Structure 1
Amino acid sequence: MLRPRIIPCLLVRDKGLVKTVKFDAGKYVGDPINAVRIFNEKEVDELIVLDIDATTQGVGPDLKMIERLAAECRMPFCYGGGVKTVEQASAIISLGVEKVAISSALVEEPMLATRIAEKIGRQSVVGVMDVKKKRFSSRHEVWTHNAKTNTHLSPVEFAQTLEKHGVGEIVVNAIDHDGVMKGYDLDLIEQIRNVTTVPMSVLGGAGSLADISALIRRFGIIGAGAGSLFVFKGSYKAVLINYPTPKEREALVRAART
């Protein structure tokens, strides 16, 4: 039976684990391999790992790093960062990764999703949209290259394009909410959810389990992604890898359904 997924999202830079705020800077928070091992013990639903510098530096996926991560993972694993070709996506899947996340390459060439899906299966192709609200406006736009390049694309229209061309899942990352820990951009999520039928996961803003509960209450079957919530603890943001227990997860989902 389909159910909501609670998904830690790890950001990697220079093989280290970092956490950003609104895609700026990047505080070092540890070793991604160690984080994966802890998440294994906590039996997480799924894991997303994003190499946030691969595309901006014009380099491809670090297959050796991905292989090490995949060898450690005992949960479904989605990797993104620097993927631009069918061959790269296929190589990543061959290492034991379940899903490949693609962002800027799909902005440049949406048909790439079709070709990759034909090779590795639609269920393994994830389209990622980094979305930011236009200044002095209610309009949202899709950005790439760590929020440095504005595509001027509407996320609603781009989500429809991604689905049309064969992605099996869409991840929406709200740049303005990244690392702020004050809740998801529920209105943005609703706009995109209303025009797509593929599974959807969201990132940006989760600061508590109550935020995840509010997301599930409003949207039901959805992927609740979070970074800061699962790597920091307490008001001083001490680095501590954490995740709700099975009982907490069940209680959270029950509360969202009432």
Structure 2
Amino acid sequence: MLAKRLIPCLDVADGRVKKGVNFVDLTDVGDPIEIAAAYQQQGADELVFLDITATNEHRKTMADLVERVSRQVFMPLTIGGGIQSVADMQRLLRAGADKTAINSAAVAHPELISAGAQKFGNQCIVVAIDTAWDEQQQRYRVYTHGGQQATDLDALTWAQRCVELGAGELLVTSMDRDGTKRGFDDRLYQALGRVVNVPIIASGGAGKLADFTDVFTQTPVDGALAASVFHYGELTISDVKQALRTEGVPVR
């Protein structure tokens, strides 16, 4: 079994790291460069950097900030937010990204997934899927524009389509669990694991050590992404890795 990955996430707006609950009520956490350097020292396996207002503000991801962050970290760096074209992907890869994440643009223009995969390789293309459970329809619905716009896409069907188009990895966020610290939505990731065969990163809901153990032992995800518990020092990367080792989960 491949080692599982622990991935802090920097949600950035106005050049600062922000964190909210259920994608709203954002509060300032700190400077992205300082926080990235701290995660480097803690032993994070990867880092995700999301420019969370770029799409809604109709602008490009801040490549200069990405470049400064990339100088602080020597681990894989995934960048997302505001990517609309292959040229945008290339600009961010040149700024220091190892992978680019697309969400709203992928829904609007699925061919962008294939175009990026053909030019840079599947391993560079991460499709981020924000989803929430629709009780009436009994399915996971896909949302875009930072969780503000509902689509009619079913998350499991969309995940399959993304992989068919060339996505090398899926970053799937449970909006229901985001910032709640109630644990990952294991049911969601179990269902995804039955329909796709690419690495899945679970996001949304981490609150305690057992949440990481549960998602890695009860679902087929390859990585677990968290923000609040790491940003506020409630848990450290080393805390989580030690707990996972104790439970027999392979980590780096």
TM range (shorter): over 0.9
Output the CA distance in 2 between the equivalents of 1:132 and 1:220: 20
User: TM-score by structure 2 length?
Assistant: 0.94
Deviation for aligned residue 1:254:
4.2
1:238 aligned residue: none
1:73: Cα distance to partner? Answer: 1.4
Question: Closer, same or farther in 2 for the Cα pair 1:43/1:74, shift >3 Å?
Answer: same
**Structure 2 gap ranges (5+):** none
Q: CA deviation at 1:2?
A: 2.0
Could you report, residue by residue, the CA deviation over 1:189-245 in whole angstroms, capped at 9, with x for unpaired residues?
A: 1111110001110100000121001111113551111111111245xxxxxxx5232
Separation in 2 of the partners of 1:253 and 1:204? 22
Work out the CA distance in 2 between the residues paired with 1:118 and 1:47.
Answer: 24
Counterpart residue type for residue 209 of structure 1: L
Matched residue of 2:217: which SS?
Answer: helix
Among all aligned residue pairs of Structure 1 and Structure 2, give the percentage whose two residues are the same amino acid.
33
Q: Is the 8 A contact 1:216 1:253 kept in 2?
A: no
Q: Which string of whole-angstrom CA distances, capped at 9 and with x for unpartnered residues, describes residues 157-182 of structure 1?
A: 00000000001000100011000001
SS at match of 1:100: strand
How far apart, CA to CA, are the structure 2 residues paired with 1:198 and 1:88? Answer: 24
Residue 115 (structure 2) pairs with residue 115 (structure 1)? yes
Corresponding position of 1:225: 225
Corresponding residue number in structure 2 for 1:140: 140
Assess, with a 3 A threshold, how the Cα gap between structure 1 residues 157 and 248 changes in structure 2: closer, same or farther.
closer
One-letter amino acid matched to 2:175: I
**What's 2:94 paired with?**
94
Letter in 1 for 2:4: P
Which residue in the other structure is 1:103 paired with? Answer: 103
User: Which residue identity is paired with 1:158?
Assistant: W
Change (3 A) 1:218 1:131: same
Q: Tell me, what secondary structure is at the counterpart of 1:6?
A: strand
Q: What's 1:83 paired with?
A: 83
RMSD between aligned residues: 1.7
> Is 1:49 equivalent to 2:49 in the alignment?
yes
Deviation at 1:137, TM superposition (A): 4.8
| Whole-angstrom CA distance in 2 between matches of 1:117 and 1:4 | 24
Q: Which amino acid aligns with 1:243?
A: T
Contact 1:179 1:205 in 2 (8 A): yes
Residue 180 (structure 2) aligns with: 180
Q: Would you say the 8 A contact 2:209–2:243 is kept in 1?
A: no
Partner of 2:237: 244
Match of 1:237 in 2: none
Q: How many residues align?
A: 250
Which amino acid counterpart does residue 247 of structure 2 have in structure 1?
A
Unmatched 5+ stretches in structure 1:
235-241
Give the TM-score of the pair, scaled to structure 1. 0.92
Structure 2 counterpart of 1:70: 70
Letter in 2 for 1:60: K
TM-superposition CA deviations, 1:110-161 (whole Å, max 9, x none)? 1111111111111010000000112545321000112111111000000000
User: Partner of 2:33: helix, strand, or coil?
Assistant: helix
Query: Whole-Å Cα distance in 1 between the matches of residues 174 and 217 of structure 2?
Result: 19
